[in-house]
Amino acid sequence: MTVNWEEIEKTATGWIINAGENIRNSLTDQLTILTKSNPNDLVTNKDKEIEKFFKKKIKEYFPTHFLLGEEGFGDSIEKVDGVVWVLDPIDGTMNFVHQKRNFAISLGVYENGIGMFGIIYDVLHNELYTAKKGQGAFFNNQPIPKLKPIKIEEAIIALNSIWLTPNKRLNHHKLSDLVQKVRGSRSYGSAALEFAYVATQRLDAYITPRLSPWDYAAGKILIEEVGGVCTTLSGNPLTILENSSVLVCNESIFNEVLTEYIEEK
Ligand code: 2AM
Ligand code: CA
Ligand code: CA
Ligand code: CA
């Protein structure tokens, strides 16, 4: 099967811009809000609507491709073979519901497990991050420069403050040491945007013990195209087949962050 990546890129970008416009035009509409795994894990009718829109379009335009989507309207994927569209229709649903900003549509298109094209659309700011394997990363179609080395004392890192409290996944004392060592810490509540911020050097690292493939499918391609690093919190590669912990990092501080400050339980 020969894949026309230019066509995928053009078509997917058009669909994402349309979906974003749809969201921006409906921000004052009444949302139907449901909870998923716990009372703070939200999903709305918009998340589902956008994923269904992609499902319909992909089946129509690219019938041999698969869709792996957060809301479950896509295919159940057990192997990485073929072309898989990994979609998070709204990344940062809590922000979407409560703040009406700081959420994104995230799409990574993979071929046989390799990330080929990634796109993260910051809907409220109308800002588009794209990446093509081996051809660089772009912010609103302008090339994003390669990441410059930094010192850990001057780094700004992103993490959810819950991981600084006693928890079952990470040694929170070590992470607190990191927060004290670096220049600043932030929490944006959208993994895709946090990837995009590390890729554009607004952040220098993002640490999270629990993400799903649709949270990082696009971000992984973006960060690798600017010379950044993205692994599990054990330093292993990420796959689109299972949930994972994630460290996204400027390469110059990657080893230090991983070995000195991260200890998984
Ligand atoms: P979501 O908004 O698409 O669910 C919030 O810190 C970040 O973690 C968001 O990118 C959010 O994606 C993601 N996330 C992954 N699993 C989650 C869960 N069980 N509950 C809330 N956010 C989750
Ligand atoms: Ca969710
Ligand atoms: Ca998500
Ligand atoms: Ca989501």
Ligand 2 centre to CA of 99 (Å) is: 16
- Is residue 131 located within the same domain as residue 170? no
* Ligand number nearest to the C-alpha of 246: 1
CA distances, 15 to each of 53, 55, 91, 247 (Å): 9, 11, 16, 29
> Residue 246 sits in a domain of what CATH number?
3.40.190.80
Structure tokens at 69: 């989507």
Helix, strand, or coil here: 188? Answer: coil
Give, in degrees to the nearest 5, the angle at Cα 257 between 114 and 121.
Answer: 45
Tell me the β-bridge partners of 142.
139
Same domain, 82 and 202: no
Residues in the 5 Å CB sphere of ion ligand 4: 70, 88, 90-91
122 lines ligand 1 (CB under 6 A): no
Give the residue from 42, 54, 43 showing the smallest Cα distance to 16.
Answer: 54
What is the whole-number distance in angstroms between the Cα of residue 81 and the centre of ligand 1? 26
pLDDT in tens, 163-218: 999 999 999 999 999 999 999 999 999 999 999 999 999 999 999 999 999 999 99
Q: Examine the pLDDT at 10 and tell me if it is beyond 80.
A: yes
Q: Decide: helix, strand or coil at residue 61.
A: helix
Which residue's CA is the nearest one to ligand 1's atom 11?
92
Q: What is the mean predicted confidence (pLDDT) over 104-112? A: 98
Q: Answer yes or no: is 70 a known binding residue.
A: yes
Any idea what the CATH number is for the domain that residue 39 is in? Answer: 3.30.540.10
Examine the domain organization and report whether 139 and 9 are in the same domain: yes
Output the CA angle 141-232-222, nearest 5 degrees.
5
**Alpha carbon distance 178, 182 (integer Å):** 6
Q: Does the CB atom of residue 215 touch ligand 1 within 6 A?
A: yes
Distances (CA, A) of 46 to 22, 53, 153, 263: 9, 10, 41, 37
37 Cα nearest atom in ligand 1: 19
Domain tally, the chain: 2
Among 94, 111, 143, the domain boundary falls at 143
**Do 45 and 85 reside in the same domain of the chain?**
yes
Domain closes at, from 102, 120, 143? 143
> From the alpha carbon of 70, which atom of ligand 1 is closest?
3
Q: How far does the centroid of ligand 4 lie from the alpha carbon of residue 245, in Å?
A: 17
The answer to whether residue 1 scores a pLDDT higher than 80 is no
Please identify, among 143, 165, 187, the residue that sits at the C-terminal boundary of a domain: 143
- Cα–Cα distance for residue pair 12/87, rounded to 1 Å: 11
Coil/strand/helix, residue 137 = strand
11 and 139 share one domain: yes
Task: Answer yes or no: do 158 and 139 share one domain.
Answer: no
Give the number of the ligand closest to the Cα of residue 95: 1
**Would the CA dihedral through 171, 195, 85, 68 be positive or negative?**
positive
pLDDT tens column, 46-105: 999 999 999 999 999 999 999 999 999 999 999 999 999 999 999 999 999 999 999 999
Ligand 1 proximity of 211 Cβ (cutoff 6 Å): yes
Q: Is there an atom of ligand 1 within 6 Å of 204 CB?
A: no
103 plus 174 within the same structural domain: no
Query: Do 134 and 178 share a structural domain?
Result: no
Same domain assignment for residues 157 and 137:
no
CA of 2 to the centre of ligand 3 (A): 30
Mutate to test the pocket of ligand 1, among 36, 44, 88, 91 (most ligand atoms within 8 A of CB): 91
- Contact 47 CB / ligand 1 (< 6 Å): no
Which residue range(s) make up the domain with 157? 152-261
Tell me, yes or no, whether 18 and 103 share the same domain: yes
pLDDT tens across 228-249, in order?
A: 999 999 999 999 999 999 999 9
3-state secondary structure of 161: helix
Strand 156-158 to strand 184-186: parallel, antiparallel, or no bridges (unpaired)? parallel
Same domain, 164 and 113: no
